[in-house]
């Protein structure tokens, strides 16, 4: 007789089942209660293998896989054999009910259901707080999809997992940076400053990943200035010329003339963090000015620094000229959500990663404004989490 996955039954509920069910996400409880009535073996599953119980009630794999798993259990077969029939990694048995807030991730699990080496290592990294395991599991699975076992194990060991923070893992850039760190022959990898390694602290890895991505996008993929070209032309206001400084050599010369450290800003300029201008009156240097994107208002540039020779204060007329000049420009061209990106250059950089990782690569095929806006939010969220790491 074929065992169905309808889980109809009239068996009495085991004492303590209500308390156990309250540990599961509310979306699973009704179906788990129905599952528990199916047989003693299925009732025990709710207590002894939460991952398998959730898998059976949330449509994990195929109907035939689920029916086969239930047949093994009701016939008295062991849990490991049942997990193999279902294609469920047995190491998930170590996770509590609190870890499963939605359907189980089939992609990465299916590729590694029999990966004992990964299983032996990852089970020792499960957080002690059951309420932190949902975030932990989501991040470990996303990391494994995005860059493989070493990255997943490294991320599993970070002390960043908190109760109530189980949203989509913001790992798109960090995973790609990690993968390219191991594939140094590729163009995108040549833009990495410090490659990822398993001893790297999370805040450092996040900073390096962000720096790499901005360097890749702003420095390699960026299209011509287009409608924002006014920001990249020399213009004059009240007898003061505003000269954009974009090259390493131009910044070095400015630093020498103005006795300041602007030469060290080249990486920040390349990564889209700021625009630098040299202010001139009759060819004599008057001031050096840095503009940065407004932290919350797209298209607005803020004057972060406006200093004279040796970082001295500037006269009032220079300040007024700078404000007038800024007001005449169009929307500020920096900030990743406003970036004009060459699809051809984007494809050249990121196609190898997508080809290697397949559907698991979260880097989009085209740099749409919506995708870049999502990446910007992800990076901000990841930086906030990394600052809490201990």
- Domain ranges within the chain, ordered by starting residue: 1-102, 173-220+343-387, 226-337
pLDDT at 332: 85
Spatial neighbors of 314 by CB under 8 A, at least 6 apart, are 286, 287, 306, 307, 308
* Angle, helix 172-181 to helix 343-357, in steps of 10 degrees: 80
- Split at pLDDT 50, 70, 90, the class of 113 is very low
pLDDT at 335: 67
pLDDT at 19: 92
Dihedral sign for Cα atoms in the order 299, 303, 304, 309: positive
Q: What is the pTM of this model?
A: 0.75
pLDDT in tens, 97-111: 999 998 888 765 444
pLDDT at 72: 96
Q: How far apart are CA 192 and CA 7, in angstroms?
A: 53
pLDDT in tens, 10-62: 344 444 889 999 999 999 999 999 999 999 999 999 999 999 999 999 999 99
- Split at pLDDT 50, 70, 90, the class of 270 is confident
Where do runs of H (alpha helix) occur along 237-298? Answer: 248-258, 266-270
Annotation: CATH topology of 226-337: Aminopeptidase (3.40.630)
pLDDT in tens, 292-338: 988 777 778 899 999 999 999 999 999 999 999 999 988 887 766 56
Q: How far apart are CA 83 and CA 72, in angstroms?
A: 9
**The two three-digit tokens of residue 114, written as one number:** 């029999």
- Split at pLDDT 50, 70, 90, the class of 166 is low
């Amino acid at each position: 007789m074929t065992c169905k996955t309808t889980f109809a039954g009239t068996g009495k509920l085991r004492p303590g089942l209500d308390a156990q069910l309250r540990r599961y996400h509310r979306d699973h409880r009704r179906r788990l209660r129905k599952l528990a009535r199916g047989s003693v073996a299925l009732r025990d599953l709710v207590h002894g293998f939460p991952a398998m119980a959730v898998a059976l009630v949330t449509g994990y794999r195929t109907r035939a896989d689920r029916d086969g798993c239930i047949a093994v259990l009701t016939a008295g077969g062991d849990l490991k054999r049942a997990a193999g029939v279902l294609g469920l990694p047995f190491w998930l048995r170590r996770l509590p009910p609190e870890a499963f807030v939605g359907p189980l991730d089939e992609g990465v699990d299916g590729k590694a259901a029999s990966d004992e080496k990964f299983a032996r290592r990852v089970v020792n990294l499960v957080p002690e707080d059951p309420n932190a395991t949902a975030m932990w599991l989501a991040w470990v699975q996303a990391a494994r999809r995005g860059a493989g076992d070493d990255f997943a194990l490294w991320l599993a060991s970070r002390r960043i997992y908190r109760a109530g923070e189980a949203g989509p893992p913001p790992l798109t850039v960090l995973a790609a940076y990690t993968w390219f760190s191991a594939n140094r022959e590729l163009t995108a990898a040549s833009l990495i400053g410090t490659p990822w390694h398993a001893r790297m602290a999370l805040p450092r890895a996040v900073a390096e990943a962000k720096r790499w991505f901005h360097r890749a996008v702003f420095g390699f993929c960026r299209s011509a200035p287009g409608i924002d070209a006014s920001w990249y032309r020399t213009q004059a206001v009240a007898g003061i010329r505003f000269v954009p400084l974009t090259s390493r050599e131009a910044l070095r010369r400015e630093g020498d003339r103005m006795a300041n450290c602007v030469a060290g800003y080249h990486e920040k300029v390349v990564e889209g963090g700021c625009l630098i201008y040299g202010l001139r009156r009759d060819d004599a240097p008057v001031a050096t000015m840095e503009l940065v994107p407004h932290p919350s208002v797209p298209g607005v540039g803020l004057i972060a620094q406006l200093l004279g020779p040796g970082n001295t204060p500037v006269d009032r007329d220079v300040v007024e000229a700078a404000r007038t000049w800024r007001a005449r420009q169009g929307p500020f061209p920096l900030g990743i959500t406003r970036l004009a990106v060459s699809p051809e250059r984007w494809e050249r950089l990121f196609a190898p990663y997508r080809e290697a990782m397949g559907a698991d690569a979260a880097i989009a095929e085209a740099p749409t404004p919506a995708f870049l806006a999502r990446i910007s939010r992800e990076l901000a969220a990841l930086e906030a989490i990394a600052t809490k790491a201990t």
